[in-house]
């Protein structure tokens, strides 16, 4: 059980209506138990197409996971394709029907519609994994030691099926080891010197642990991977080794568990007991959302203000009207005053502000779209920067700018 | 030129590190000129794998677009695979090299690194489309009337290449018609009665216009599609027909151009000259971001408050301390007071508030994760609702709740 192939079924993805996020989730979960996704087929809801994709996938890997094509309003072509591929028939499965009835009763839908009843029909050779968050069951087929799982397409249903049922099932059946990973972010030390400094530690690592170096810009990421049967033990082992590593390079380590910039920020703020707030204009809440996307952020994020209208910047954030009149609302000066007002309003160590025009369409001040000024204020020091990204679409702009500000802030905090 | 196949190249997508958003963008753009994506292959960066995918793709469609596998730090396996597939060689292209030199000079990177120079090597039979936002060129190969475009993987580079260069090129070369679409959202009238009411109008539609009915919950979406050579004329034609349709069902139409709920909200607020503000706790800025993701939202969105810390809910939003003490911070009463405070702070017709626990990890008040109370306040009327979604991951929770609130608000506004 080494290679998996994913098959995403559904015209809504091919037509550009929906972005496929299931594949990403499944690939990540499989990676944690040492299974690599070698290919993804995204195909339309046609019986022949599905059968062809299954045949190709079985040539490439031992495990196939299909998502989509099992809804109550569809023709259930996926089920038919699977039955045909495995020379099987579709029949009513009593256990699945009872599960479905209970599921719908609990939701107050006492009469089972005919089209829902059809969802309890599955290939007779299949093993059913009941879906606790939707009406389409998950089916498993087995042939020559290879497995096919067929899941519905709704991400809220896919996630628990994969995490709570399929991954534990695969681990049990194939005695798969867990793989736990920690990322240690190191700055301010060249890779070669870092390697020398930690050489003894690296050589003394237990056999089931592996270290790799990933340089990213001015940062070196050390990836420490542990492989073993018991997840809890692995995590303890990783923590133990990191505790041995830290004294060697303590001043250069900015984060020891996470890779995403907002999670690195979380580690730094928590470690140093710093608090933060935001005052946004053109990023429209994206900056706050990025910060609060980290679980536990309520410990350091006190709150934020989205001051879209100029008068709210003046009233609530105490930006001076004269500053707006003299420099326009999209200016270094307004960004700076927003950050100051924000810091006072929320009483935080750090405040971040943005003012700009995300476009398309010109801002009220007539400046070109794609311009943003942002201020990072730490205690009584502050830096204001400008970005000009006219080629970005609105949401990309909001996202890019927010990401950049958090990166800059992390950079400032670690260089202090 | 009817069917396209996309090939996404890159281990970062197969490993679950990155979500593929390029395919979605490309599929949408191709749909607008009548080209349907019939399959997407997501594959790893190996020469044989790439050649096999190209061979399969050419059997399925007339147009192949690959993204990824062209970066300066890669082995450029995509280029090699393409050259091998088309029995071609790779050589330095002077025009591409000059473009690259200019590109890097404008960015102040005067010395062209060797690995950047390599990016100007392309298959000799290829036609190059210069990349104005990155260093990897886009290459086109042609064989038996079929086309292959190879693009870099960075979305900011893919979007302008597709929109400004490839789509116009395809239209010109294959005399492809534009397809323009408008979605008219209709509520409060059953589909059959709607069909009777607009029958005469539908029968009188010009030949290049087509109407389809898409019932979604309590809403019927009328999709009006126009097909023709000139995009501007098509849009005028669509607008003209919608103006004829409106008097027939005026009271039932809630939006005439867009499909997404935040854009429908935009139309309603703009039409009725209403203003809105937000006060968020557990949605952490996502609700504001969803509203401001619409271009022109500054006309009706005055601003928002993210009151993560309880004391900020009290200080800035004027939630009463007694209310928090008596009912806890995650309560109907706090949601209601937040909405009232928000409306007063921003002086808007409408205010929205959320208070809850996004999880994982318990909130400060000890309530279970996944609970949220939200208030929709319109003038001096308000409704507070509760949602309990413990199975959603943090970001999904923030997104789901925000979406639900906007849907509820649209529902309230159209039923008034």
The pLDDT value given to residue B390: 81
State residue B232's pLDDT score: 87
Q: What is the rounded average pLDDT for all residues in chain B?
A: 90
- Best B154, B280, B289, B401 residue to mutate vs chain A (most A CBs within 10 Å): B289
Q: Measured between beta carbons, which residues in chain A are less than 8 angstroms from residue B348?
A: none
Size of interface A-B (CB pairs under 8 A): 225
Comparison of pLDDT for B128 and A308, the residue scoring more: B128
DSSP string, A307-373: E-SHHHHHHTT---HHHHHHH-SSSHHHHHHHHHHHHHHHT-SEEEEEEE--SSS--TT-PPTTEEE
Least reliable range by pLDDT among A158-162, A402-406, B3-7, B9-13:
B9-13
Please tell me the least confidently modeled range out of A47-61, A149-163, A213-227, B94-108.
A213-227
Inter-CA distances, B141 with B126, B170, B282, Å: 5, 13, 51
Q: Find the helix or strand (DSSP H, E) in which A193 lies.
A: helix A191-197
As a whole number, mean pLDDT of residues A208-224 equals: 84
Please give the average per-residue pLDDT across B113-139, as a whole number: 89
Q: What pLDDT, on a 0 to 100 scale, did the predictor assign at position B66? A: 97
Whether residues B304 and A301 touch (CB distance < 8 A) is answered with no
Taking the CA of residue B133 and the nearest CA in chain A, the distance in Å comes to 9
A88: Cβ contacts below 8 Å, ≥ 6 apart: A82, A123, A124, A125, A126, A141
* Candidates A4, A16, A157, A353, partner chain B, best to mutate (most B CBs within 10 A): A16
Question: Mean pLDDT of all residues in chain A?
Answer: 90
CATH topology of domain A178-255: Alpha-Beta Plaits (3.30.70)
Query: HSE-up of A344 (CA within 13 Å, CB side)?
Result: 10
Does the structural domain A261-415 have CATH classification 3.30.465.10? Answer: no
- CATH 3.40.980.10 domain residues, chain B: 3-174
Encode pLDDT of B262-285 as tens digits: 998 998 999 999 999 999 999 999
Q: What is the pLDDT of residue B344?
A: 96
Distance CA B372, CA B370 (A): 7
> Could you please report the per-residue DSSP string of B213-249?
EEEETTEEEEEEEEEES-HHHHHHHHHHHHHHHHHHH
What angle do helix axes B77-85 and B47-60 make, rounded to 10 degrees? 50
Distance in angstroms (rounded) separating the CA atoms of residues B348 and B275: 5
Span of A72-76, B253-257, B377-381 with lowest mean pLDDT: A72-76
Q: Under an 8 A CB cutoff, do B16 and A36 touch? A: no
Residues B378-390 have pLDDT tens digits of 999 999 999 988 8
What CATH number belongs to B3-174? 3.40.980.10
Weakest-pLDDT range from A369-378, B97-106, B248-257? B248-257
The verdict on ipTM greater than 0.85 is no
Chain A nearest C-alpha distance from B200 (Å): 30
pLDDT at residue A415 above 70?
A: yes
Q: Is the four-CA dihedral A42, A47, A50, A56 of positive or negative sign? A: negative
For B71, which DSSP code? -
Report the C-alpha gap between A154 and A262 in whole angstroms: 27
In chain B, % helix, strand, coil (3-state, to 5) comes to: 45, 25, 30
Judged by CB atoms closer than 8 Å, whether chains meet at A36 and B14 is answered as: yes
Does B31 sit within 8 Å of A16, measured CB to CB?
Answer: yes
Q: pLDDT (tens digit, 9 = 90+) per residue, B355-371?
A: 998 877 554 445 568 89
Are B133 and A391 within 8 A, CB to CB? yes
Measure the CA–CA gap between A242 and A185, rounded to whole angstroms. 12
Q: What is the pLDDT of residue A411?
A: 85
Q: Do B303 and A303 touch (CB under 8 A)?
A: no
Range from A1-10, B13-22, B252-261 carrying the lowest mean pLDDT:
B252-261
Task: For CATH 3.90.950.20, list the domain ranges present in chain B.
Answer: 261-415
Q: Residue A39 — pLDDT band, cuts 50, 70, 90?
A: very high
All CATH 3.30.70.2860 domain ranges of chain B, comma separated, are 178-255
Structural contact between residues A285 and B289, judged by C-beta atoms closer than 8 angstroms:
yes
Integer Cα distance of B344 and B353 in angstroms: 13
Which of the pair, B407 or B66, is modelled with greater confidence?
B66
Share of chain B above pLDDT 70, in %: 94
Q: How far apart are CA A187 and CA A19, in angstroms?
A: 35
Q: CA-CA distance, A205 to A209, in Å (whole number)?
A: 6
């Amino acid at each position: 059980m080494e290679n998996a192939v994913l098959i995403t079924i559904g015209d809504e993805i091919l037509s550009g209506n929906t972005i496929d996020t299931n594949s990403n989730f499944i690939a990540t979960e499989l990676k944690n138990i040492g299974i690599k996704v070698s290919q993804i087929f995204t195909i339309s809801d046609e019986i022949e197409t599905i059968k062809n994709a299954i045949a190709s996938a079985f040539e490439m890997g031992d495990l196939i996971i299909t998502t989509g094509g099992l809804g109550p309003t569809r023709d259930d072509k996926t089920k038919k394709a699977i039955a045909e591929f495995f020379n099987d028939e579709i029949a009513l499965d009593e256990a699945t029907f009872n599960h479905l009835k209970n599921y719908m009763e609990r939701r107050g839908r006492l009469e089972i519609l005919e089209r829902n009843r059809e969802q309890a029909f599955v290939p007779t050779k299949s093993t059913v994994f009941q879906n606790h968050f939707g009406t389409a069951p998950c089916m498993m087929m087995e042939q020559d030691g290879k497995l096919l799982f067929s899941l519905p397409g709704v991400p809220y249903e896919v996630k628990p099926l994969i995490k709570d049922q399929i991954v534990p099932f695969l681990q049990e059946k194939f005695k798969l080891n867990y793989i736990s990973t920690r990322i240690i972010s190191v700055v301010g030390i060249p890779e070669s010197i870092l390697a020398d400094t930690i050489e003894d530690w690296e050589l003394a690592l237990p056999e089931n642990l592996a270290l790799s170096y990933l340089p990213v810009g001015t940062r070196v990421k050390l990836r420490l991977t542990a492989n073993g049967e018991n997840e809890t033990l692995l995590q303890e082992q990783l923590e133990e080794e990191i505790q041995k590593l830290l004294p060697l390079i303590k001043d250069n380590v900015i984060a020891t568990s996470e890779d995403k910039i907002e999670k690195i920020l979380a580690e730094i703020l928590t470690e140093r007991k710093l608090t933060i707030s935001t005052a946004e204009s053109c990023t429209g809440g994206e900056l706050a959302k990025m910060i609060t996307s980290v679980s536990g952020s309520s410990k350091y994020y006190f709150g934020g203000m989205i001051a879209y209208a100029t008068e709210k910047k003046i009233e609530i954030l105490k930006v001076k009207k004269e500053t707006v009149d003299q420099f326009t609302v999209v200016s270094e000066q307004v960004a700076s005053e927003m950050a100051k007002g924000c810091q006072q309003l929320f009483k935080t160590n750090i405040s971040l502000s943005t003012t700009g025009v995300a476009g398309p369409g010109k801002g009220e001040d007539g400046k070109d779209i794609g311009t943003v000024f942002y201020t990072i204020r730490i205690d009584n020091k502050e830096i204001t920067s400008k970005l000009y990204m006219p080629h970005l679409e609105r949401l990309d702009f909001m996202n890019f700018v927010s990401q950049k500000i958090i990166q800059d802030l992390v950079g400032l905090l670690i260089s202090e």
